[in-house]
Amino acid sequence: MLQLQYIKEHTTEVINRLKIKNVENVEARIDEIIHLDEKRRQLQAQADNLKAEQNRIAKQIGQLMKDGKKAEAEESKLQTARMKTEEKEVASQHDEIEQQLNMCLISLPNAPHPTVPIGKSDKDNVVVAEYGDKPILPSNALPHWDLCAKYDIVDFELGNKITGAGFPVYKGKGARLQRALINFFLDEAAKAGYVEVQPPLMVNEASGLGTGQLPDKEGQMYAIPLDGFYMIPTAEVPITNIYRNCVVDSSKFPIRHVGYSECFRREAGSYGKDVRGLNRLHEFSKVEIVVIEHPDKSYERLEEMKAHVGGLLNKLGLPYHILKLCGGDISFTSAMTFDFEVWSAAQQRWLEVSSVSNFEAFQANRMHLRYKDENGKMQLAHTLNGSALALPRIVAALLENNQTPDGILMPQCLHQYLGFDKV
């Protein structure tokens, strides 16, 4: 959530930055926020004045009673009773306006960093780096869904039988590959200074609101209405919410965490070739890195996280490029995002495997995540996260890019985790 004071003090800047995200009616929305805040302040002042006047009259009543002026004292009591009624009405109006203001603020997306590219969709994202050579496969090379069936390592039909489409069953060496990748990613993060946590797979509404999944992505989340819980779309949600309503010690910055979890996404509206096989699932495994940082260092930390993700892909031997997301493709909560996409040789297309984002103070403001600066004043921290990495498309690229007539070769970095070097 954008800070109200910042919106008021930097109105033109906020409007211009939100225009990068193509926010509709942005001027009107900002005007409404400022108007509601002024109205709320007026009502608060009116309520305070009524309260002060009641206190003043109450003191007079005591003196009138002492002076034997009972009739005047009774009139003053009636006056304070009328004022109490008026104060309640004003307080009710204040609460209603404050609720409207909060809804306006919470529905406003984060303002992107000024350097975020202007654009309408993912077609306008900017490639900022490319690494590795694309493998050249023979004409009879198979896409990963056929390789999964050939070697009996991922069963999509069995998952469909047990649950439904988008919930595959990993078998044999496919299951071992999943476990190996998870352990490899976790170990690499630990070497980089990330403290591992194993978070719950369900969160409450307050957690969803804190990191911005609610109300923006409510339709994409699996809900459990009876208990008021949501299945997590990413470990970012529970891990970042560890620090909801916390004042962290600034000497501990950067606070780094890593966590493995299953992720659950409805993926409503997905269709066509992009959803075949492991390309798009409703449940998948992912290792997530989360950082809580001082505002002055958050973009330095973003570069560090990008380097970490790139290092994982280099060790896996996967060709990849990095995209700087444009305003039309960046998320509701993000101020800046870089996507990592690996080359899928059999499908002849790029597959997104990671997003690394800086949310600046947006999530921290929603979660009341603060620290004390050198003057002892409360300030909002910055939050960042990234996939390091999401497994399904990594598996798809590994299978397709490394296929040979004799089997599928596994990267050297995974051998110690797998116990085999080839499927």
pLDDT tens digit string along 95-127?
A: 999 999 999 999 999 999 999 999 999 999 999
**Number of Cβ within a 10 Å radius of residue 206:** 14
pLDDT for residue 140: 93
Q: What is the mean pLDDT of the chain?
A: 95
| Residue that the structure tokens 């509709």 belong to | 24
- Measured distance CA(283)–CA(157) in Å, rounded: 15
pTM of the predicted model, to two decimals?
0.93
* Neighbouring C-beta atoms of residue 132, cutoff 10 Å: 16
Contact of 109 with 370, CB cutoff 8 Å:
no
Residue 381's nearest CA partner among 252, 189, 239 is 252
pLDDT at residue 268, rounded to an integer: 67
| The predicted structure's pLDDT at residue 317 | 98
Q: Which of 136-140, 189-193, 305-309, 419-423 has the lowest mean pLDDT?
A: 136-140
Mean pLDDT across the stretch 266-271?
70
How much is the pLDDT for 80? Answer: 85
What is the average pLDDT across 133-162? 96
Sheet holding 223-224, edge to edge: 202-204, 229-231, 223-224
Q: Where residue 87 falls among pLDDT bands split at 50, 70, 90?
A: very high
Q: Tell me the backbone φ, ψ of residue 136, rounded to 5 degrees.
A: -105, 115
How high is the pLDDT of residue 273?
A: 57
Strand pairing category for 195-196 and 169-170: unpaired
What is the pLDDT, as a whole number, of residue 74? 77
**Which amino acid type is present at position 343?**
W
Is pLDDT at 269 greater than 60 in this prediction?
no
- Given this model, what pLDDT does residue 63 score? 74
More confident residue, 208 or 63: 208
Determine the average pLDDT of the residues in 21-50: 96
> Per the structure block, which two tokens stand in for 342?
């690996």
Q: What is the chain's Cα-based Rg? A: 28
Q: In the block, which residue shows the tokens 């269709």?
A: 271
> What is the per-residue pLDDT across 42-77, written as a single tens digit (0 to 9) for each?
999 999 999 888 888 887 877 777 777 778 877 888
The number of angstroms, rounded, from the C-alpha of 84 to the middle of its chain's C-alpha atoms is 44
Phi then psi for residue 385, to 5 deg, are: -155, 165
Count CA atoms within 13 Å of residue 374 on its CB side: 0
Q: What residue type is 281 in one-letter code?
A: L
Closest residue by Cα to residue 346 from 392, 395, 399, 278: 399
Q: In the 8-state DSSP scheme, what is residue 113?
A: P
Q: How far apart are CA 250 and CA 253, in angstroms?
A: 6
pLDDT at position 248 is: 98
Model pLDDT, residue 93: 97
Model pLDDT, residue 60: 84
Tokens linked to 100: 């409207």
Q: What are the structure tokens assigned to 233, written together?
A: 């779309």
| pLDDT at 274 exceeding the cut of 80 | no
Q: How confident is the model at residue 326 (pLDDT cuts 50, 70, 90)?
A: very high
pLDDT digits (tens, 9 = 90+) for 360-401: 999 999 999 999 999 999 999 999 999 999 999 999 999 999
Q: Which residues pair with 378 in a beta bridge?
A: 372
Q: Max alpha carbon distance in the chain (Å)?
A: 109
What pLDDT score does 318 carry?
A: 98
Question: Is residue 387 helix, strand or coil?
Answer: strand
Average pLDDT over residues 14-25: 97
Question: b or e along 59-92 (b: 16 or more beta carbons within 10 Å of the residue's beta carbon)?
Answer: eebeebeeeeeeeebeebeeebeebeeebeebbe
Distance (Å) of CA 10 to CA 5, 17, 297, 399: 8, 11, 22, 50
Least confident stretch, 48-52, 76-80, 219-223, 314-318 = 76-80
Predicted pLDDT of residue 71: 82
Domains and CATH numbers, the chain: 4-106 (1.10.287.40), 122-418 (3.30.930.10)
